[in-house]
Amino acid sequence: MRLCLSIVFLVILFPQCSPRIWAEQKDSFARLRERMVQEQIVGRGVKDGDVLRAMRKVPRHLFVPQKQRAFAYGDYPLSIGEGQTISQPFIVAFMTEAMSLSPNDKVLEIGTGSGYQAAVLGELVKEVYTIEIIEKLGLEARERLEKLGYTNIHCKIGDGFQGWSEKAPFDAIIVTCAPETIPKALVGQLKQGGHMIIPVGRAGAVQKLVKATKKDGAIVSKEVMRVRFVPMVKDLD
């Protein structure tokens, strides 16, 4: 059903193209997606079959600006406007796998961006709650996800440092922007035994990608990779 909706979405975006061109574009993007998964993701050690299926399915090119679509499946982040980026495919897959998700999980994402990471999560878990502080990006992502048929993804414009207390606790939390320390509110909203994957460090510097697990009310964390993410922005109003 979501695939059909994706095709409809393409037609809305490019009404001047013929059905034959749609089919050719669809096949071309599918081949690029498969190559992305094999070379960038499987080739670097991501093994979770459900994660790989989600990465093969979600049309990444629909989550980047039109002028960037030819580069959507490349091994690098891309600008999505407003000073923000969509992470490279490997990072999306790696962080998703690191949360050890189950189908009935409820996941909180901080930093919706274009909605791509949320869509990948939406293929894997029961409910996704995603927060974006930049209103323009958040509204665009909500519209995009609705058009693609993701009824299990819930978007909010707000301060990620505060999380989404009304929907807590969460089985897992993923943060796609970097605070200098792990926000206390997010720790409080994570279930016992739940996992958080989050980049931590100063803006402009190399940061630590941390996997944190909640045990007896406290966080036990370990560094899993060095990364560079855009800084996590706090609402000062």
Q: Which tens digits make up the pLDDT trace of 68-109? A: 999 999 999 999 999 999 999 999 999 999 999 999 999 999
Highest mean pLDDT among 20-24, 146-150, 203-207: 146-150
CA distance 122 to 31: 22
Give the pLDDT confidence of 73-82 residue by residue, as tens digits.
Answer: 999 999 999 9
Specify the pLDDT at position 201.
94
Q: Over 60: is that where the pLDDT of 11 sits?
A: no
Q: Over 80: is that where the pLDDT of 233 sits?
A: yes
AA letter at 89? P
Which pair of tokens denotes residue 65? 């600006």
CB-based contacts of 15: which residues, under 8 Å, 6+ apart? none
The pTM (predicted TM-score) of the whole model is 0.88
CA distance 23 to 46: 30
Question: Catalytic site residues?
Answer: 87
Query: How do 207-215 and 190-200 pair as beta strands?
Result: antiparallel
